[in-house]
Structure 1
Amino acid sequence: MAKAVKLADIAERVGVSIVTVSKALSGQKGVSESMRVRIQAVADELGYKQPGAYRRDLEESRRNRGYNLGVLVGDYYLGKYESFYSQMYQQFAARAGAKGNFCLLELVSSEQEKEVRVPMMIADNRIDGIVVIGKLSDDYLNMISDSGIPMVGVDFYTDDESLDSVISDSYFGGYRMTKYLIGKGHTQIAYVGTLGATTSINDRYMGYLKALNEHNIHPREDWIIEDRSPVDKILDPVEYIKLPEEMPTAFMCNSDQTAGMLINKLEVAGYRVPDDISVAAYDNFLPPGICDVRITSYDVDMKEMVKRAVSMITHKIAGENYKQGTYIVGGHVVEKESVLPRTNLA
């Protein structure tokens, strides 16, 4: 069987980048007409088939064996501990595999993202559709979109209305958890999460603000605490998660992992959770080895998110009708042991 021609093969022959080849063959802007004609001629000479044509040629067999689904995740989202996204990928691969599809995971480094380097799965023409778990830069997402390969985002959205995505209800979850703390008598509540790092952190913060506003509680700038660099997005409890000089009675954290790191810092500083300070979070997913306190959190229905993402990308590849746009999955509060009523605090 002849080896499939890759975008990289065409790029090398013409002497341009893979991105330029991808744009030229998919009819995107940014390539001169003369260069587009030249690239197309080389592609025809080498026998290159665009993803859509390749899928049509193999459609009959694909109906039986499913699709090749690429999954992209920024490596900074994974880090030292098992992450929410690694768990999500495992569930996605299991769900997609049960439907007869094959999943290929590729991690995107900060350098690759900055340089807008084409993923190997696209350059090698190996996949029918792409699922991106966790927000990547707009330039990088645009590059993927320009390839013409169907794409779905998970746990983020952008200003591009053509991007289909599945997200948890971060806004309502942030609101609900803050209301939960207020209902326990807390009015001095800090928020932990670097604003601008992810859309999820921003949305949970907006929910936090709404809950404070409904109870005429004014947010304090010194109680908005960063947990990571807004550039590389890597959680860093050494450089970030700094305790304020005047302590609140409770913290609302953007994730359980952040909450666990915060609790460690509180304990080192001599505070007990929940006896002295209460901590609530979002995700209901705490990787083992971070802290021993069971954290009260907003549970994300990961199973439903994965189910929707698999359905959306396979329908999109097949050209079948599906609900386009952003699909929001709800959740609920799970009470554990990190929050006490204000009147019970020492």
Structure 2
Amino acid sequence: MKKPVTLIDIAKACNTSNVTVSKALADKSGVSDELRAKIKQVAEEMGYVPSKTVTSRKKSNIGVLIPEKYVGLSGSFYWTLYNSLVQRLKRENLYCVIENLEYKDEQNLVLPNIVTDRKISALISLGEISHVYAQRLSENVEHLILLDYYVPGLKVDSIVTNGYNGGYKLANYLISLGHRRIGFIGSKTATSSIFDRYMGYLKALIEHDLEIRDDWIVEDRDKYSDPIELVFPKDMPTAFVCNCDEAAFQAIKALREHGYAVPDDVSVVGYDNYLISEVSDPTITTISIDAEYMAELTVNTLIQRLNDPSTVYRMRTIEGDLVIKNSVLPLNR
């Protein structure tokens, strides 16, 4: 049986994107008359048979793509966010189809099955992927939303937390309690969210004219985002701002193995306020992110995009709140 011709097949033949082909065949704007005519001609010559178009949003399938590096822990912030997404989509009669993105497929720019099989009306990319892969997705998905990260210059909707302000709040909190030697735990170039939190941390230190030392920046992951052993400086700071609660949890464990007590010897703060910050001993002072609201904003953005594809692309930012727990020792008592 001959394999049916897909939009991707036509796109390759015309040296253009899947989205452009879709717009051309549907007589939507954004495609030149010359290219539209070429695409229709090639589609006819290849024997393309259009699938039944979705006429009701109630019948739409929404894909959620999560890189495998973010799904290792069942109680992680990303699973919390995913569960909130599922519930919110369900209330809107939208069906959720999840797929994990393997690292090798991301590196080789292999599209996920939910995209190549044309089973979804839109795709939510949850958790940062390479900018090159995000670009490839945008070329092959008509409606793409980036959740918890952004790609500068890419014309898609994105929903992010204000990591810059969060990192600033955490460092400022430590400073308000008398800490003057403050380090950062996180591979700052690994993701846009870690970099934003690092920059907020830097701003607080600069505003208070505090020392910024390279040896107080501790890497926590490799290029594959797998965790690595934390290497602490010989001359230790009194506190660390960590890029997330998982990093803070691992830092507390590693500090203990090196003979340091938290918070008596070294204070530690995290980011996200998910389950691990509560089960940690001590519990971790952190920035709380409302996953339900984040999911609601994502789905509302998605519905707006489905109803009116001409809507201007936007990056929507969510603020986080400082949640004080037991991992910080005041030095100014």
Task: Please give the alpha-carbon distance, in whole angstroms, between the structure 1 residues aligned to 2:213 and 2:277.
Answer: 32
User: Which residue matches 1:188?
Assistant: 181
Q: TM-score, normalised by structure 1?
A: 0.84
User: Which residue matches 2:241?
Assistant: 252
User: Which residue matches 2:54?
Assistant: 58
Task: Please give the alpha-carbon distance, in whole angstroms, between the structure 1 residues aligned to 2:258 and 2:218.
Answer: 16
Alignment: residue pair count: 321
User: Which residue matches 1:318?
Assistant: 307
Task: Please give the alpha-carbon distance, in whole angstroms, between the structure 2 residues aligned to 1:285 and 1:323.
Answer: 33
5 Å matches for 1:156-195?
A: 156-195=149-188
Q: Does 1:342 align with 2:319?
A: no
User: Which residue matches 2:50?
Assistant: 48
User: Which residue matches 1:273?
Assistant: 262
5 Å matches for 1:69-218?
A: 69-218=62-211
SS at match of 2:276: coil
Q: TM-score, normalised by structure 2?
A: 0.87
User: Which residue matches 2:21?
Assistant: 25
TM-superposed CA distance for 1:220, in Å, is 0.3
C-alpha contact 1:72 1:132 (8 A) present in aligned 2: yes
C-alpha contact 2:6 2:48 (8 A) present in aligned 1: no
Aligned letter for 1:310?
V
SS at match of 2:159: strand
Task: Return closer, same or farther for 1:47/1:194 CA change in 2, 3 Å cut-off.
Answer: same
C-alpha contact 2:181 2:211 (8 A) present in aligned 1: no
Task: Return closer, same or farther for 1:322/1:331 CA change in 2, 3 Å cut-off.
Answer: farther
Gaps of 5+ in 2: 25-29
Task: Please give the alpha-carbon distance, in whole angstroms, between the structure 1 residues aligned to 2:294 and 2:76.
Answer: 16
User: Which residue matches 2:232?
Assistant: 243
Aligned letter for 1:58?
V
TM-superposed CA distance for 1:99, in Å, is 1.3
Task: Return closer, same or farther for 1:66/1:318 CA change in 2, 3 Å cut-off.
Answer: farther
TM-superposed CA distance for 1:266, in Å, is 0.8
TM-superposed CA distance for 1:139, in Å, is 1.8
Aligned letter for 1:103?
C
Task: Return closer, same or farther for 1:113/1:290 CA change in 2, 3 Å cut-off.
Answer: farther
C-alpha contact 1:25 1:40 (8 A) present in aligned 2: no
User: Which residue matches 2:298?
Assistant: 309
Task: Please give the alpha-carbon distance, in whole angstroms, between the structure 1 residues aligned to 2:310 and 2:49.
Answer: 31
Task: Please give the alpha-carbon distance, in whole angstroms, between the structure 2 residues aligned to 1:66 and 1:313.
Answer: 15
C-alpha contact 1:257 1:285 (8 A) present in aligned 2: no
Task: Please give the alpha-carbon distance, in whole angstroms, between the structure 1 residues aligned to 2:314 and 2:73.
Answer: 33
Identify the match of residue 224 of structure 2 among 232, 250, 260.
232
C-alpha contact 1:161 1:325 (8 A) present in aligned 2: no
User: Which residue matches 2:282?
Assistant: 293
SS at match of 1:342: coil
Aligned letter for 1:95?
R
Gaps of 5+ in 1: none
C-alpha contact 1:256 1:297 (8 A) present in aligned 2: yes
Task: Return closer, same or farther for 1:157/1:78 CA change in 2, 3 Å cut-off.
Answer: same
**Identity percentage of aligned residues:** 32
Task: Return closer, same or farther for 1:156/1:319 CA change in 2, 3 Å cut-off.
Answer: same
SS at match of 1:283: coil
TM-superposed CA distance for 1:142, in Å, is 1.4
SS at match of 1:47: coil
Task: Return closer, same or farther for 1:176/1:324 CA change in 2, 3 Å cut-off.
Answer: same
Aligned letter for 1:144?
L
Task: Please give the alpha-carbon distance, in whole angstroms, between the structure 2 residues aligned to 1:224 and 1:81.
Answer: 28
Task: Return closer, same or farther for 1:290/1:267 CA change in 2, 3 Å cut-off.
Answer: farther
SS at match of 2:270: strand
C-alpha contact 2:245 2:277 (8 A) present in aligned 1: no
Aligned letter for 1:25?
V
- Large movers: runs of 4+ above 6 Å: none
C-alpha contact 2:249 2:277 (8 A) present in aligned 1: no
C-alpha contact 2:146 2:159 (8 A) present in aligned 1: yes
Deviations along 1:54-82, one digit per CA (max 9) or x if unpaired, are 5xx432xx24x252110111111122453
Aligned letter for 1:298?
I
TM-superposed CA distance for 1:301, in Å, is 1.9
Task: Please give the alpha-carbon distance, in whole angstroms, between the structure 2 residues aligned to 1:36 and 1:66.
Answer: 28
Task: Please give the alpha-carbon distance, in whole angstroms, between the structure 2 residues aligned to 1:306 and 1:205.
Answer: 25
Task: Return closer, same or farther for 1:318/1:223 CA change in 2, 3 Å cut-off.
Answer: same
Greater Cα shift, 19-28 or 117-126 = 19-28
